[in-house]
Amino acid sequence: MKAVFYNPQPEMSQPERAIRRLERDLLRMGALVEKSFRLSHQALFARDLTAAEELPRLDKKIDRFYRQIESDCTAIIMLQAPTEKELRCLSAYMQLVRDLERIGDYAKDLAEIAIKIFPYPPHASLPEIAIMSHHAQAMLATSLVALADLDETSGQRVKYLDDAVDNAYERLYQTLAYQKDVPGVIEPILLLTLAIRCLERMADHATNIGQRVAYIVTGQRS
């Protein structure tokens, strides 16, 4: 007589296996985006042009992940008859991958700003902008942990961290936009104004990622 073994974890369906692969690819893409953000920070605040030169190569890798994940999500939806819960997950992934891709684009923009601003003396606002960048990077890290763990609480927490970035943006914009008696050219001020806008948008996309994780878990949009 053959022994019958109870399997507490039944074999996953084909859509489930495909979604697990998508999760791994999303986290790999997220790691590249985090690296891009760190390098752009290093380029702008440590005046490291070698770091800035790495960004285009990383951005191409991020874009490849973006196209592949979006294509895979579409294929699963069209060909594998996912359940309602799986459809919710796939829909969130298709939006979430776009947020990651945009953060990568902004990191590349920051690196370009770092190259253009390099010939000028460091501006007095740079330390405060660096703090703003650290806050935005922490938001991205928190949102990616929430994604890895499918943790609704961490996902929701990201939007509260966004207040610090928004407040920094408002202060810095007022400082830069209304600076008087500027000696020499105004290009560095314009470049830093663009930089804080990039950081503010990066934080917004990190917030979106956290919200999409919460939606995956609860089915409720915030």
Q: What are the pLDDT digits (tens) for 101-159?
A: 999 999 999 999 999 999 999 999 999 999 999 999 999 999 999 999 999 988 888 98
User: What residues does each domain of the chain span?
Assistant: 14-218
Distance between CA atoms of 66 and 60, rounded to whole angstroms? 10
Distance between CA atoms of 58 and 179, rounded to whole angstroms? 35
Angle at alpha carbon of residue 131, lines to 194 and 174, rounded to 5°: 50
Give the residue with greater pLDDT, 219 vs 176: 176
Q: Which fold has domain 14-218?
A: Methane Monooxygenase Hydroxylase; Chain G, domain 1 (1.20.58)
Q: Is the predicted pLDDT of residue 17 greater than 90, yes or no?
A: no
> CA torsion sign, 19 to 24 to 27 to 32?
negative
Distance between CA atoms of 76 and 71, rounded to whole angstroms? 9
The residues near 204 (Cβ < 8 Å, ≥ 6 apart) are: 162
Res 2: pLDDT = 40
Distance between CA atoms of 90 and 95, rounded to whole angstroms? 9
Q: Is the predicted pLDDT of residue 56 greater than 70, yes or no?
A: yes
The mean-pLDDT minimum among 29-33, 77-81, 169-173, 201-205 falls in 77-81
pLDDT, the chain, mean: 91
Give the residue with greater pLDDT, 11 vs 51: 51
Contact 212, 150 (CB under 8 A): no
Which of 197, 211, 35, 58 lies closest to 132 in space, CA to CA?
A: 197
The reported pTM is 0.91
Distance between CA atoms of 129 and 114, rounded to whole angstroms? 13
Enumerate the H helices of 118-186 as residue ranges.
126-149, 152-177
